[in-house]
Structure 1
Amino acid sequence: MSSILVSGLGKAYRQYPTRWARLAEWLTPWTTRHQLRWVLQDVNFQVNPGEALGIIGVNGAGKSTLLKMITGTTQPTAGSIRLQGRVAALLELGMGFHPEFTGRQNVFMAGQLLGRSMEELHGLMPGIEAFAEIGEYMDQPVRTYSSGMQMRLAFSVATASRPDILIVDEALSVGDAYFQHKSFDRIREFRKAGTTLLIVSHDRQAIQTICDRALLLDKGRVALEGAPEEVMDFFSAMIAEREQDTIRQERLADNRIRTISGTGEASIADVVLLDDKGRPVEVLETGTPVTLKVTVDINTDLERLVLGFMIKDRMGQPIYGINTHRINRPLEDLKAGEQVTYSYRFDANLGKGNYSVALSLSRLDSHLDKNYEWRDFALIFHVINTRKPDFVGCASLDARLEIDHQSNSKKEAPDAVSH
């Protein structure tokens, strides 16, 4: 069985006021001349066998330090870590690679650091070469590699055989799109086979499609732990609002968590989805015309206002989003006390399933510049399909088919008649 248990984990580094203070403390060890700077404090979580946990946070939140302690490359100042099972880790790009040695030589060195024997590595080498796809560079010095090639080789070595526990840092973000897809496919295969996964990524899609839970680190502490979509929504709001006093979460009737953030200079007063007769609907047919009607209160004078909406599927993946900045329809010079009603009309060419609508009120194209209000799960609706062919996926493309059927048999020419 493979699992991770982290209890009361903390990491602190000594800080000295001057370089001489370090020497003075060394000469007089009974005196303390340093202060402790905690980069991680009181971190607790558990990853059960076969479970996947995503760790997110801004740069400097302590993510990499946490992974280094779990893998044993850094020792904790406080707390404990208990691992069950064989661990494979992909942390810093090219960690353990020697730039003057060839890729093949580095495979043997890095593989032995992971606890594999030379005999085992000889057997795994063809698979490593095939997965890395770096061709003749396998026998060239690693110093000639691009960062993407280093990542290909490092990931291929770390995942040459299925580990009990796989720990992956942001290194995967270096590779090209093709290899990223290939890598995540292998990670999914490992998960299905029972590998416990710990992954650090800013890729919302990766966290939400692969992970069972997510953990948000902020200033060295666990700020939030829960369903990936809820944690990623809170993280997006936290980035927009560097100060968290404008972020709040509400629990909906279906037990989902709604994240709301913003300055409040403008706010969502009402949102409703209407059918073609102007009636509110929560269930609609694929392809039917609908109107998303959003009423906004202006609470202070605003020089510019942009409304955007995003439709997401049940996994939180974006299906379609647009805002009034991108269609050159922003409103300007608004006065406190005004109310604005927006009506977006579109055909609901969506696959059957549950969907949610996120709303954004901002000054420019992104709510990261000036966020008046960001609201996830502003509206939830369900799409059914009883009128169209039963298709798979989120988008109804109404593909039209033409078939040109020709026989493969050739007509034989009549035999020539000789006289």
Structure 2
Amino acid sequence: MGSIQVTGLGKAYKQYPSRWSRLAEWLVPFSPPRHQLKWVLQDISFSVKPGEALGIIGVNGAGKSTLLKMITGTTQPNAGTIQVDGRVAALLELGMGFHPDFTGRQNVFMAGQLLGLSMEELQRLMPEIEAFAEIGEYIDHPVRTYSSGMQMRLAFSVATAQRPDVLIVDEALSVGDAYFQHKSFDRIREFRKAGTTLLIVSHDRQAIQSLCDRAILLVNGRLALAGAPEEVMDFYSAMLAEREQQTIRQERLDGGQTRTISGTGEAGFADIALLNEQGQSVEVLSVGSTATLRIVVDVKVDIPRLVLGFMIKDRMGQPIYGINTHRTQQALENLEAGERITYDFRFPVRLGKGNYSVALSLSRFDSHLDKNYEWRDYALVFHVINVQQPDFVGCAWLDSQVAIERSGSRTPETCL
């Protein structure tokens, strides 16, 4: 079983005003320093227990890849300590460790030995690596002829040829096609069930929330937030939308969830309710019934355009259904301060049994990243029960109709 312990980690690079300053510092070693340190990571501490999965989130340049390189030992830290127990397999930069002029097969043996596999083990695993990568005859072609997706297929196949104690995955999987991404994540899930410790960097909300037990957010090289994946992803989404003195705050709900609220405040939610078919405000809905999501919005200042959207998410934070008034071509324009708008979204409850939450967004266009008036996660939480429909499994009720036809008959033979 693998584990990771990171304590007070820091990484800095030397910055020189000119190349002559670098040369002078090298030639005159006892002279005053001619460089400044640029810290890309500072005071990072976290631990990953055996069998646990941790997601690392942050914008480009936040220090995510540098952190993974230090954990795998390809880059040395300036401060702090790293302790990794168990056999590590890492998929960092695309094709890292591959030589472009060697064939895929030759690169498998070279990269595999870097991962600690012997030639005998690689000979035994080679058929499985070929089968999983699915690149056909290209396995015997130079890697320089590969597309980025083919390189990723082969690199992932080698890194996961044997179940490691610790698996570290950067965003290389994002270049693959949808089929291979599903195949790769299925293998990662199998490893997790078998006890592999996982460290993954991804901008894919679904990947982080479905694979990880916890997540951390890096902002400007520092640890900004650590917690449940959905809580951290909600804060990250709000942070991306932060523009023009927006505010971001988090509230702890009675049920233990953390609600993230952000926006400029130029328009905001005054009331939110879920109504049943009789128009009563409810927290429990029945499968197959009809519900209305009623949202009241107050306009605080004059705004040129207003779009309201909502997203229903399951208990794991995975999006089930979302729509907004931009997509329905019902955006409002030229609103004045003091106006109040009431929206009614009516929909059939084709959901499976379980707990769901509603996230709301007030924006100018289709995305809240352009202009975010207010974004609110866990704006409303409700429960779906099944008392009228046949019992089924899953998150969607499709109300399938079954037609069965039997033809022909079998007459039993007469025994003498």
Pairwise same-fold verdict (TM > 0.5): yes
More displaced, 44-53 or 344-353? 344-353
Q: Distance in 1 between matches of 2:107 and 2:381?
A: 52
Q: Distance in 2 between matches of 1:242 and 1:57?
A: 17
Moved over 2 A (4+): 242-245, 407-410
Q: Distance in 1 between matches of 2:92 and 2:244?
A: 30
Q: Give the 3-state SS of the residue equivalent to 2:338 in structure 1.
A: coil
Deviation for aligned residue 1:304: 0.7
Letter in 2 for 1:181: H
Q: Give the 3-state SS of the residue equivalent to 2:317 in structure 1.
A: coil
Q: Give the 3-state SS of the residue equivalent to 1:322 in structure 2.
A: strand
Q: Judging changes above 3 Å, is the alpha-carbon distance between structure 1 residues 166 and 243 closer, same or farther for their aligned structure 2 residues?
A: farther
Q: What residue number does 1:328 align with?
A: 329
Kept in 1: contact 2:310–2:358 (CA 8 A): yes
Letter in 2 for 1:8: G
1:363-415 CA distance string (max 9 Å, x none): 111101100000000000000001101111111110000112123769xxxxx
Q: Give the 3-state SS of the residue equivalent to 2:43 in structure 1.
A: strand
Q: What residue number does 1:414 align with?
A: none
Q: What residue number does 1:2 align with?
A: 2
Q: What residue number does 1:415 align with?
A: none
Q: Distance in 2 between matches of 1:51 and 1:332?
A: 49
Q: Distance in 2 between matches of 1:147 and 1:407?
A: 55
Letter in 2 for 1:46: S
TM-score normalised per structure 1: 0.96
Percentage of identical aligned residues = 76
- What are structure 1's unaligned runs of at least 5 residues? 411-419
Residues 120-159 of structure 1: pairs in structure 2 closer than 5 A: 120-159=121-160
1:158-209 CA distance string (max 9 Å, x none): 0000000000000011111111000000000000000000000011111000
Deviation for aligned residue 1:12: 0.2
- What are structure 2's unaligned runs of at least 5 residues? 412-416
Kept in 1: contact 2:95–2:155 (CA 8 A): yes
Q: Distance in 1 between matches of 2:408 and 2:136?
A: 43
Q: What residue number does 2:25 align with?
A: 25
TM-score normalised per structure 2: 0.97
Letter in 2 for 1:375: R
Deviation for aligned residue 1:28: 2.0
Q: Distance in 2 between matches of 1:110 and 1:409?
A: 61
2:191 is the alignment partner of 1:209: no
Q: Distance in 2 between matches of 1:16 and 1:102?
A: 40
Residues 276-315 of structure 1: pairs in structure 2 closer than 5 A: 276-315=277-316
Q: Distance in 2 between matches of 1:346 and 1:109?
A: 57
Kept in 2: contact 1:238–1:244 (CA 8 A): no
Residues 73-84 of structure 1: pairs in structure 2 closer than 5 A: 73-84=74-85
Q: What residue number does 2:274 align with?
A: 273
Deviation for aligned residue 1:348: 1.1
Letter in 1 for 2:13: Y
Q: What residue number does 2:115 align with?
A: 114
Q: Distance in 2 between matches of 1:61 and 1:279?
A: 47
1:220-253 CA distance string (max 9 Å, x none): 0011110000000111111111578511100001
Q: Give the 3-state SS of the residue equivalent to 1:393 in structure 2.
A: coil
Q: Distance in 1 between matches of 2:395 and 2:213?
A: 22
Letter in 2 for 1:385: N
Q: Distance in 2 between matches of 1:300 and 1:194?
A: 54
